[in-house]
Amino acid sequence: MTTPSPVKSPPCYRCGQPIVEAHYPDGRCPPRQNRRTGKGIVLAVLGVVSAPILSLVLAVPGHQIIPGTPGPSSPRIVGHRPDGPLQPMLLACKLFYRWKATHEPGLLTGALTDSLSPRVPEKFSSRLRGELDGLANWTRVAASVHGPKVVRREHAIDTICAR
């Protein structure tokens, strides 16, 4: 004589587990089992172990991690960025003038980002930010980059950058 197999209850619509067998008597779903706990612990331990080793390797003078990449013996200078309070403002103005020549929207976004630097002098920062932001908005909205409001903002930025 064979015994009939027990009938399982349908799965819960919230958690997917059988309603009768896996749930609490008052109908609450069981707590979720986090299956990635072990992976998280392993990654944390590896991070703690590898961070000091990597900092020691990078601190050794003359060491190249990847052969052929520029190191102390072969410097590769992309651009000189001298420090100073006017440097981000000068970069913003240079990007604005490049935008004026090409009308590429990424240059205007870069100029706006440079103008947000805390190293821009206070007497220029708010006006420069406002004019660049307004210019970026008008060039997105306007059908032409030669509209009267765009030209007015360009002249205002020219005046700020000339100082």
18 has a pLDDT exceeding 50:
yes
CA distance 99 to 9: 67
CA distance 106 to 136: 10
User: pLDDT digits over 37-96, tens only?
Assistant: 777 788 888 888 887 877 776 666 655 555 555 555 444 434 444 555 558 888 888 888
Token pair listed for 151 = 């030209």
Mean local confidence (pLDDT), 132-160: 81
156 has a pLDDT exceeding 50:
yes
CA distance 115 to 91: 8
How far out from the chain centre does Cα 85 lie?
25
Token pair listed for 125 = 């920062």
- Report the pLDDT value the prediction gives residue 113, as an integer from 0 to 100: 86
Model pTM score: 0.45
Exposed e or buried b for every residue in 25-60, given b needs 16+ CB within 10 A?
A: eeeeeeeeeeeeeeeeeeeeeeeeeeeeeeeeeeee
CA distance 87 to 120: 8
